[in-house]
Structure 1
Amino acid sequence: MKEIEEKAIHSFNNGMNCSQSVLTAYADHLKFDPKMALSVATGFGGGMGEMQKTCGAVTGAFMVLGIHNSKKHPENTEAVKATNEMVKKFSHYFKALYGSLDCKGILNCDFTTISGEKEFKEKDMKKNICSKCISDSIRLIELITKE
């Protein structure tokens, strides 16, 4: 788990968005194409297209859970059912940690405004909050997939 977390944080600090960072960190572990994953997760950063909706670390985690289950269950209906259950658990745990699944709620900052962008940078929220969301998402993925 520590290796996956370190990969994700390294990727995030080197230009990937939060969703890309979580998803691609699992490429080796779950044996999927990291370039395709990078492309798929492109629009989910910053709360889905920088609209500050669902946190990218969360959407990345949902995609990881889906891939995990598609490899574990031979039938799509089984994979869908298992994924939905895991997404619900993940959401419950993540909300308990952050009070929200939404980027804007987690940050308590609207970075789409000039003043919000300034606050985001001054408080170094990328490092102090977003990186923590990525790490916690990976910890939750590990917890849920081992249950």
Structure 2
Amino acid sequence: MTRSENARLNMIESKMNCAQSVLTAFCEDLGLDKATALKLSRGFGGGMGRTGNTCGAVTGAYMVIGLSEQKSAREGVEAVYTRIQEFNRRFVAVHRTTGCTELLGCDLGTPEGLAKARSEGLFTSLCPNFVASAVKILEELK
């Protein structure tokens, strides 16, 4: 099973949010224990704290990119920004946006939007695909 397939399944089976699913797929490679990775990324699901903004799979990928950069402070920041911009380009090419609300077709920041996402099973039908896509792109960017 590939890392992206494993991350997709972990999201469904372990009830992780999108950011947690992406970050934990790489935590061992990054020298980050899983418990810390889960805590660090738990506020980024639902478009960052269930606000419907940037997709958790995307913010999880940003964390992986930031943690994986080995260059010095200023040089490292520039390298991270460059890799994030490339990640975004590739993610948008597949999914048209990095926004949670647009990806799901409902705003998780409202009670109605959250109810719709839950009742239509969007967290299990759509979100795992965004996770798998983010992990695959990260692997391609290495």
Q: What is the TM-score with the length of structure 2 in the denominator?
A: 0.88
CA distance in 2, matches of 1:6, 1:97: 17
- Asked whether the equivalents of residues 47 and 55 of structure 2 are also in contact (C-alpha less than 8 Å), the reply is yes
1:15 aligned residue: 15
Question: How many residues get paired?
Answer: 141
Offset from partner CA, 1:52-77 (integer Å, 9 cap, x none): 1000000000000111113xx2x122
Following TM superposition, by how much is the alpha carbon of 1:114 offset from its aligned partner in structure 2, in angstroms? 4.7
Q: What do you get for the CA RMSD once the two structures are aligned?
A: 1.8
Name the SS of the counterpart of 1:54 in structure 2: coil
Distance 1:113 1:144, change over 3 A: same
Q: Does 1:119 align with 2:116?
A: yes
Q: Does 1:104 align with 2:101?
A: yes
Offset from partner CA, 1:7-59 (integer Å, 9 cap, x none): 42233121211101110111112222222111111110000000010000000
- Asked whether the equivalents of residues 87 and 137 of structure 2 are also in contact (C-alpha less than 8 Å), the reply is yes
Q: Which residue type is aligned with residue 123 of structure 1?
A: E
Following TM superposition, by how much is the alpha carbon of 1:137 offset from its aligned partner in structure 2, in angstroms? 0.1
Note the residue ranges of structure 1 that are not aligned, 5 or more in a row.
Answer: none
CA distance in 2, matches of 1:9, 1:31: 21
- Asked whether the equivalents of residues 8 and 129 of structure 2 are also in contact (C-alpha less than 8 Å), the reply is no
Q: Which residue type is aligned with residue 48 of structure 1?
A: M
Name the SS of the counterpart of 2:37 in structure 1: helix
The share of aligned pairs that are identical, in percent, is 34
- Structure possessing the higher relative contact order (Cα contacts under 8 Å, 6 or more residues apart): 2
